[in-house]
Amino acid sequence: MTLVDTNILIDILSSDRNWQLWSASALRQQSQHGLLLINEIVYAELSARYTSQQQLDAAIDLLELHFEWIPKSALYLAGQTFNNYRRAGGIRTSILADFFIGAHAAAARIPILTRDTGRYRSYFPDVELIAPS
């Protein structure tokens, strides 16, 4: 199983000139290792790009993504990680999406397919990241 970050899906669905090929290839490769998962955070972030839930669900089905709710243990970890971020001088006042996604992957012990590795590497160092080199 692999948790897919929103940026990968946007690359593919928007035909991004710089990243679509890499992201589509990485998604295809990870599908050979098990289910491709998204959670409610990724779903919500993607929803901003669609005018109806049916269109969004059709895109998710097309990419053969599976929806999985974030477990309570991961939600707790996201909050604790956010506290660490704030103590380290982080300026955001609400929990960032990356903390929910990273905590979900950490709690489930699955990798994240992403292009945005900064916060994941800093706050979830034990999570495997599948990212461009």
pLDDT in tens, 57-80: 999 999 999 999 999 999 999 999
pLDDT over threshold 90, residue 87: yes
Closest C-alpha to 27, from 41, 17, 13, 39: 13
The pTM (predicted TM-score) of the whole model is: 0.95
- The CATH architecture of the domain made up of 2-130 is 3-Layer(aba) Sandwich (3.40)
pLDDT over threshold 90, residue 133: no
Q: Where are the domains of the chain?
A: 2-130
Average pLDDT of the chain, as a whole number? 97
pLDDT band, residue 35 (cuts 50/70/90): very high
